[in-house]
Amino acid sequence: MLGMTNYPDNGGHTLTGIRDLARHLDISIGTVSRALNNKPDVNQDTKSKVLKAAAELGYVPNQAGRALSKGRTNVIGFVLQTDSEGMMQGDLFFIRVFDGMQSVLTQHGLNLVALLSPSTVDPETYLKQIVARRFTDALVLSSIHRNDARISYLSDQNLPFATLGRSLTDVGQPWLDLDFDGVVEDAIHRLIAKGHRKIALALPRSDLNLRHIMVESYRRNLARSGIEVNEDFIVETDAGDNGGVTLVHDLIELNPRPTAVIYSDHILPFGIYRGLAENGLTPGQDLSLIGVGTRLASLLTPNLSHYRFNLFDLGVRIAEALLPTMQDRPFSDPAKIIRESVPYTFIDGDSIRDMA
């Protein structure tokens, strides 16, 4: 294929390389490149002449050539994982985060792409391919597990990255996280304030660190309030559509029966509402609900009490955490590494009964 561009000259626009641009201006390639990259040692006049011509001819630097020469691709990957059901932790979630990240990264000339490990391929090998090919300059990992081999792997491979979520596997990388710890704490205190003592915690079956963080927060904050933890109250939910329905089934058979449940999945409440209805029970009356939700929460009747996060800002923060790691490898100055939880907002509803 030598000497043959892949896209045949169609008489219309011809792809312009830096060489054509240089010929057209009758100056050398090097100067053109320097002008475009705004290097100091080039005359202001020629600089503007080059920029003008580039705009006119629609010149845009070829990424492959650039990447090869600079050793950087200017591509950032946002790695998403689908679970066994092909569903993602995130769905609605991720779009906003992505948007927030992109708003920052574009200002630095970086392109953000979403990478979804296919359900037909082992996520590990998928990640390894991306890394080994040096497809991206940096990665953001989501769906972080309690122990996450990907973290040490990326560290070994010396690829800059940040994680959306904490992990026990910690190499000092920057991370952002949603304050699920705080959510559970706040939820428990709210419930207790309204007279609840039998509080269940419903979490999806997974090894996401998120789950562990919430369980730990649950135990800690109950203990702090002098309430003994009933292990039966920590229930696992199915990922399926009617995880909420079966959850209700499980809960109402418990003895004693919990009066409130803290959830973490924004779809789950829909199933819970349905499950309660099927049993002639009323949400917020026979069972109080509080947990993390999304916009969808406002579609439930009675109104769902829930916590929200500003996902766009989260994306912005992730990008800001990622950028320094790309200039300064490895994570040299721990003081400058951003590692923080973004705060929640509580949206009051009618799903918490006052037991007093």
Partner DNA sequence: CGATTCACCGTAAACGTTTACGACAACATT
Partner DNA sequence: AATGTTGTCGTAAACGTTTACGGTGAATCG
Taking CB under 8 A as the criterion, which residues in 159-218 touch its own copies? 159
Question: Counting contacts by CB under 8 A, is residue 331 touching its own copies?
Answer: no
Question: Counting contacts by CB under 7 A, is residue 130 touching DNA?
Answer: no
Residues 13-52 that bind its own copies (CB under 8 A): 13, 15
| Residue nearer to DNA on the CB measure, 35 or 208 | 35
Q: Which does 355 bind (CB under 5 to 8 A by kind): DNA, its own copies, none?
A: none
Question: Counting contacts by CB under 8 A, is residue 61 touching its own copies?
Answer: yes
- Select from 12-20, 136-144, 246-254, 315-323 the region that touches DNA (CB under 7 A): 12-20
Cα–Cα distance, 187 to 197 (Å, whole number): 12
- Select from 25-33, 207-215, 220-228, 250-258 the region that touches DNA (CB under 7 A): 25-33
b/e code 67-87 from CB counts within 10 Å (16+ = b): beeeeebebbbbbbbbeeeee
Question: Counting contacts by CB under 7 A, is residue 118 touching DNA?
Answer: no
Candidates 48, 68, 119, 216; binder of DNA (CB under 7 A) is 68
Choose among 255, 201, 265: nearest CA to 233: 201
Answer for the pair 169, 151: CB distance below 8 angstroms, yes or no.
yes
Q: Which does 84 bind (CB under 5 to 8 A by kind): its own copies, DNA, none?
A: none
Candidates 10, 37, 84, 158; binder of DNA (CB under 7 A) is 37
Question: Counting contacts by CB under 8 A, is residue 332 touching its own copies?
Answer: no
Peptide bond before residue 330 is cis, with ω within 30 degrees of 0: yes
Ramachandran region, residue 240 (left: φ > 0; alpha: ψ -120 to 50; beta: rest):
beta
Give the CA radius of gyration of the chain: 26
Shortest Å distance, C-beta 114 to its own copies: 4
Q: Which does 279 bind (CB under 5 to 8 A by kind): its own copies, DNA, none?
A: none
Cα–Cα distance, 165 to 212 (Å, whole number): 12
- Select from 34-42, 146-154, 205-213, 336-344 the region that touches DNA (CB under 7 A): 34-42
Answer for the pair 174, 204: CB distance below 8 angstroms, yes or no.
no
Q: How far does CA 121 lie from the centroid of its chain?
A: 21
Beta strand 306-309 with 339-342 is: unpaired
Residues 249-278 that bind its own copies (CB under 8 A): 267, 270-271, 273-274, 277-278
How is 310-351 classified by DSSP, letter by letter?
-HHHHHHHHHHHHHHHHHSTTT--GGG--EEEEPEEEE--S-
Residues in touch with DNA (CB under 7 A):
1-3, 5, 17-19, 27-31, 33-34, 36-37, 39, 41-46, 59, 61-62, 64-66, 68-71
